[in-house]
């Protein structure tokens, strides 16, 4: 015998919220069979009342222009927040709902990155479901993979392409040879990048997602401050071209590793061999790779944003809430969360790509090589080409494995050389 309907109250009817409303309507028969009970949208909050009619789901759905009023006045079984933002109404709605003993589902990675530990504590105290599958990598079920499918593994690495905007920009730069500024402007016209693209291209969005993945993978508190964050603004068409010549592609990655020293969580553009599987994840697609002690290497690829993929992830959480499935927000109870030492990026030991803009005169290479040698940094290869339109000569070097602190010290000294005309560009090489 089928149980009574599971009622959903939805805050935010934008792109993703609209997708959720349509999915719940169009897939209601499938969901009822798979969940053992009907899933019904009973209320929705949005600043635009006409939105419900536009979506074709206004029948039997009560409209509110204030999400907190909706929470107070409905008897929904789960509150779904798709407003966004680390603070403000989204955060207030979340805390109020959890304290009232309501199940809660969100796609809000910024809120979880900034307040996840506090929200986990409230959800645990109240014994309610908290779902956030859609907060990381859109339609890729990577949260479920870490929390459920890989539950029997100790994870030593988790890394991936977590921002479709940056991946699209780097892909088009590689395919067309155009500059970052040109491709960014095109991405904005196509709607792949916001009018203010800082959140994406400066790595902040990736960092929000990475600190969530790091917490789940390594059993540590969510700690956005633990991350070193670097975006893609300084990647030039020259770097893309030289990367191809050297057998690499450039991707913005979130990289998490656990070692005997502790945990490193970082966001940065890096060169990866074209033979690597993740190097071929292009356009707006995302990919997440994990390394587990029993399962080994696992790769998850799919659309990281958009109406339908993200709505699919949100509804997966709603279904879990309806069927009584689910784990604590941080997978284990807060008493089992362990604060681990954070290994700073300066301790990284790896290979590097360097690009210098130098004067065309004798002795320049010798001066740069001398400084690198004095900092115990060894050159692996070197490429020198003709002058740029500005009259500088690009000098490209790759380095053998070196400590990042030593490389940075060398670059600070090299930048002050009279023959070096611009701030050197450094890109880490990751042989994933």
Strand ranges in 23-176 using DSSP code E only, listed in sequence order: 39-45, 62-64, 78-81, 103-106, 130-131, 155-161
Strand ranges in 119-277 using DSSP code E only, listed in sequence order: 130-131, 155-161, 228-229, 248-259, 262-273
Q: Write 22-25 long-range contacts (CB < 8 A, 24+).
A: 22/55, 22/56, 22/57, 22/311, 23/308, 23/311, 23/312, 23/315, 24/57, 24/315, 24/318, 25/56, 25/57
DSSP designation for 426: E
**In angstroms, rounded to a whole number, what is the distance separating the alpha carbons of residues 323 and 231?**
40
Indicate the burial class of 60 (C-beta count within 10 angstroms; 0-12, 13-18, 19 or more): exposed
Q: Tokens for 42?
A: 């009973």
Place of tokens 């954070």: 342
**In angstroms, rounded to a whole number, what is the distance separating the alpha carbons of residues 412 and 84?**
40
- Selected catalytic residue, list 209, 308, 361, 387: 209
**In angstroms, rounded to a whole number, what is the distance separating the alpha carbons of residues 395 and 14?**
48
Place of tokens 């992830």: 313
DSSP designation for 367: H
The neighbouring-strand residues paired with 355 are 396, 425
The neighbouring-strand residues paired with 266 are 228, 255
28 given a catalytic annotation: no
Place of tokens 């309610």: 128
Contact, 177 vs 242, CB < 8 A?
no
Residues 6+ apart with CB under 8 A from 297: 289, 290, 291
The set of catalytic residues is: 209
């Amino acid at each position: 015998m089928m149980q009574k309907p599971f009622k959903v109250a939805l805050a935010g009817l934008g792109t993703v919220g609209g997708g959720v409303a349509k999915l719940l309507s169009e897939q209601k028969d499938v969901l009822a069979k798979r969940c053992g009970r009907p899933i019904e949208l009973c209320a929705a909050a949005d600043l635009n009342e006409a939105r419900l009619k536009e979506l074709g789901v206004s029948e039997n759905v009560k409209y509110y222009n204030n999400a907190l009023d909706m929470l107070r006045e409905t008897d929904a079984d789960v509150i779904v927040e798709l407003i966004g933002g680390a603070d403000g109404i989204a955060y207030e709605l979340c805390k109020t709902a959890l304290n009232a003993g309501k199940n809660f589902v969100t796609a809000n990675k910024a809120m979880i990155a900034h307040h996840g530990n506090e929200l986990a504590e409230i959800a645990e105290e109240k014994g309610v479901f908290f779902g956030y599958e859609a907060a990381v990598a859109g339609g890729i079920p990577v949260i479920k993979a870490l929390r459920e499918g890989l539950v029997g593994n100790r994870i030593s690495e988790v890394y991936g392409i977590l921002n479709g905007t940056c991946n699209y920009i780097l892909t088009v730069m590689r395919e067309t040879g155009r500059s970052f500024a040109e491709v960014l402007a095109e991405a904005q016209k196509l709607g792949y990048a916001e009018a203010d693209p800082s959140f994406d291209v400066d790595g902040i969005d990736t960092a929000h997602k990475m600190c969530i993945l790091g917490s789940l993978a390594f059993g540590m508190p969510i700690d956005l401050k633990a991350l070193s964050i670097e975006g893609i603004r300084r990647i030039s068409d020259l770097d893309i071209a030289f990367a191809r010549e050297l057998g690499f592609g450039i991707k913005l990655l979130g990289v998490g590793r656990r070692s005997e020293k502790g945990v490193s969580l970082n966001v940065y553009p890096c060169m990866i061999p074209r033979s690597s599987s993740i190097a071929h994840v292009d356009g707006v697609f995302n990919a997440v790779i994990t390394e587990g002690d029993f399962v080994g290497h696992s790769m998850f690829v799919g659309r990281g944003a958009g109406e339908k993929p993200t709505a699919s992830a949100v509804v997966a959480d709603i279904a879990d809430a309806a069927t009584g499935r689910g784990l604590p927000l941080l997978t284990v109870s807060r008493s089992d969360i362990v604060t681990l030492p954070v290994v700073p990026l300066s301790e990284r030991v790896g290979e590097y790509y360097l690009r210098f803009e130098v004067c065309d005169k004798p002795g320049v290479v010798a001066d740069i090589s001398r400084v690198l040698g004095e900092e115990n940094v060894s050159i692996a290869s070197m490429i020198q080409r003709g002058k740029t339109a500005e009259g500088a000569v690009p000098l490209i070097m790759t380095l053998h494995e070196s400590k990042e602190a030593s490389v940075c010290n060398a670059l600070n000294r090299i930048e002050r050389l009279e023959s070096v005309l611009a701030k050197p560009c450094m890109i880490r090489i990751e042989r994933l």
